[in-house]
Structure 1
């Protein structure tokens, strides 16, 4: 299979995606307050597809959502920050077990940015509500029972980091054990992934990146209740966490509809989305935002997941297992991520609340709780790729 191709009739898939995304876009718009100072020109610019050679998002002049948190802090005035701090004083319920207590200035700034930086009362209401939700539901203790029952049920997993050290989450429908999700299971796994990603964020950073590989997309994956459930939770309790949403191998015909949908959505949200449909575009984007090791790993993963039939080690039965001897690619994550978070000492310390836990099936295999993980699977053979240095120079 080649980059940019689908597994269903393009027109049929497009019609379903257009309807689904239009509804989801409206839901997202209603769930998030509109930007106070947004303009039609800003929305138009944010929704325009990148021109050839112009996929940069991490350099000067790029999207501010992909800039360091220190520079984004300027979006919130100290006056409004002091006002919010005073409003929520004594109202934030802090769970002593929570590794991410919502009482820091960084959290206050996120909730202020989510309401445009000015509506302090609304930001206070949302922050207090989220603190109560965390205290009552303890999302930091969640896991994904669906993945535990059926390995590979979800593929969303942290695999590395960007140039700022922020966690990168990758997902690919072709690797999933099913395309029939419920809102409950999708929210459960997404929250697990976000909560674990937060534990790896460097000091001063509060965002994560999502690389969504549309390879293997089918009409069964279009479930508005699932999208709505995820959007609601992320918008309500994890505002301003998503720094970049990279859509790889999405149909090109979707772009005109996306530009129309963007007129209903806060420009801050659309600026975080990038569509790439070719190998060169993907390499340019990845090399711009990721360290060379992470960009190379992602290109290898994207390429391996286009191969049909899919190698067992890349499928729902293999992407979470340790690779076989001699394998040149580990679908669990980059070499640095694997060394840092999947080592034996990390597996033994997996129950520590402040330590990062990987994808549930990876965690189970590391702990020796899954007999299937002990079975060897043939490694995938990948063709040579151009390094990032070459891609950037060309």
Structure 2
């Protein structure tokens, strides 16, 4: 593991500044104490581990860390991100986005998986809002330092010109840098086509250089796209069960695209506890112009919410409970509430 102030390019395992000056940590905590004294929610959120994370993000620069943490605390007071879910997913289309917490890597860091083609919504603001939802669901379930991060696997197999808006990447990366520093361990981009090269160059021009260093390109399970071979990278980061889940998810989306693209919804699956049957929710929310299409089963019982061991862990249960609670009022999700196997919990304080 890298132990210097900086992490080498392509190193998705090392952490910068593993040892911090505790006097500086104390000074940063004191600097934001007035904000914490004024709000119980941010006081609970702003643990010493989070103070250390912001100081680490600015490589020990106390002035920069103070500004970043102060801005984040003020944003949290104004936006209350810990109470929100993606408005597009619960109100407009249950298939608006397909970026979710689905497991762990070998080191116990969270695994976030997204399929760009399955996301129906291309609006920068709501994509950033969905990223916020995912990260807020992760926050209380992350392991202690140095594994308090997530690895983001992004599947590009249906990437198109409709996904070329750099404002989407700008909105999401800006959110990560401002309010969730040192959370992203790395991005594994699977099956990225040549079309993506132009957008990637544009994004690199404004993205945090530290984030750019954390990207790896990997060939898809179908052999398409550029980068390193699929199996060695998956084996490096994930155990056999998680790797098999990722391969099954990506392969199903390629082989059965016309079927699953219309029907897969992580939000609906999480609300109702049904992750291997897709499109059942269309009978509850029929189109005004088309009759509902029949549901389809996942390949070999594949569950889009994650592998079996992940679905048995406390973090999975915590996320499902939080999503049902925070999203119960949605125009669409309110109609799924009675299908949740354990009922809908009371809204969080």
- CA displacement 1:189-221 (0-9 Å, x = unmatched): 110011001122123332111111001111011
Which ranges in structure 2 are unaligned for 5 or more consecutive residues?
A: 222-227, 278-296, 341-349
Cα deviation per residue 1:334-360 (whole Å; 9 max; x = unaligned)?
Answer: 11222336988985676678xxx9xx9
Q: How far is 1:128 from its partner?
A: 1.3
CA distance in 1 between partners of 2:162 and 2:325 (Å): 37
Asked which structure has the greater RCO (Cα within 8 Å, sep 6+), the reply is 1
Find the counterpart in structure 1 of residue 107 from structure 2. 164
Quote the offset at 1:157 in angstroms. 0.9
CA displacement 1:284-308 (0-9 Å, x = unmatched)? 1121112221111111112222225
Pair 1:292-2:221 in alignment: no
Equivalent position SS for 1:301: helix
1:327 aligns with 2:300: yes
1:226 aligns with 2:174: no
- Tell me the distance in 1 between the aligned counterparts of 2:209 and 2:55: 16
Report the CA distance between 1:258 and its aligned residue.
6.2
Give the conservation status (yes or no) of the 8 Å contact 2:159–2:193: no
Alignment check: 8 A CA contact 1:251 1:277 kept: no
Matches within 5 A, 1:32-181: 46=9, 63=11, 65-67=12-14, 72=16, 74-92=18-36, 95-97=39-41, 101-102=45-46, 104-117=47-60, 119-149=61-91, 150-176=93-119, 178=120, 180-181=121-122
Q: 2:128 corresponds to which residue? A: 187
**Given the superposition, is the C-alpha separation of residues 273 and 87 from structure 1 closer, same or farther in structure 2, using an over 3 Å criterion?**
same
* Helix, strand or coil at the partner of 1:317: coil
Cα distance, 1:284–1:124 mapped onto 2, change above 3 Å: same
Aligned twin of 1:249: 191
Mean alpha-carbon deviation: is it higher for 361-370 or for 208-217?
361-370
For 1:317, the equivalent position in structure 2 comes to 263
Q: C-alpha distance in 2, partners of 1:235/1:222?
A: 21
Cα offsets for 1:169-193 (capped at 9, x unmatched): 11112322x2x52222111111001
Give the number of aligned pairs.
300
Pairwise CA distance, 1:93: 5.3
User: Counterparts of 2:198 and 2:166 in 1: how far apart (Å)?
Assistant: 21
Matched, 1:212 2:176: no
**In 1, distance between residues paired with 2:239 and 2:337?**
29
Corresponding residue number in structure 2 for 1:13 = none
What is the aligned counterpart of 2:140 among 176, 199, 202? 199
State the TM-score, normalizing by the size of structure 1.
0.65
- TM-score, length basis structure 2: 0.72
Counterpart of 2:254? 306
Q: Is the 8 A contact 1:244 1:273 kept in 2?
A: yes
